[in-house]
Amino acid sequence: MSYAKNAGHRHQNPQPIAKDYMQEALIEAQKAGKRGEVPIGAVLVHQGAILARAGNRTIELHDPSAHAEILVIREACQKLQSQRLPDCDLYVTLEPCPMCAAAISFARIRRLYFGAADIKGGAVENGPCLYHQPICHHAPEVYSGFRESQCAHILRDFFKQRRGESGT
Ligand SMILES: [Zn+2]
């Protein structure tokens, strides 16, 4: 069975295993939140094994590009000694932003699974819909809505708590 003709489109036929990898991404999101970072987590899966896992570290690394997706792509590329990851699938708790969506395309990642949609900042099914633009030379297969409520909940909690702390 081939999914290639549907590349870049939304799929609604989740494989059961995907939920488990999204659970691992959620663990990374929680860890990021405990570090004071925006709680978004990602895992990169290669041949059924987690090759890299990360949460956001933009504050800790003084690096606005240190999003979870970028960190797992960098680590996986180092491990595989390759600038491309064509046999890899990326799981992330929130719809990727334009920077990460582009990096996923450049890395030739096979499948992208994300949890919650990001209506304001997402670039896959919202905003620029990058994979449907002519500038995009590789679109991963996109599967969305995995553990959606959990992924959204952890972000909502984080921002609610932060607003509370700043007294606004
Ligand atoms: Zn990003």
Chain segment 119-137, per-residue pLDDT in tens: 999 999 999 999 999 999 9
pLDDT for 162 equals 85
Residue 150 — very low, low, confident or very high, per pLDDT cuts 50/70/90? very high
167 compared with 78, residue with greater pLDDT? 78
160 compared with 17, residue with greater pLDDT? 160
CA of 92 to the centre of ligand 1 (A): 10
Residue 5 — very low, low, confident or very high, per pLDDT cuts 50/70/90? very low
Catalytic (active-site) positions = 69
Residue 164 — very low, low, confident or very high, per pLDDT cuts 50/70/90? confident
CA of 1 to the centre of ligand 1 (A): 31
- The predicted model gives 52-68 an average pLDDT of 98
CA of 118 to the centre of ligand 1 (A): 11
pLDDT at 4 over 50: no
pLDDT at 103 over 80: yes
SS (HEC) of the chain? CCCHHHCCCEECCCCHHHHHHHHHHHHHHHHHHHCCCCCCEEEEEECCEEEEEEECCCCCCCCCCCCHHHHHHHHHHHHHCCCCCCCEEEEEEECCCHHHHHHHHHCCCCEEEEEECCCCCCCCCCCCCHHHCCCCCCCCEEEECCCHHHHHHHHHHHHHHHHHHCCC
pLDDT for 28 equals 98
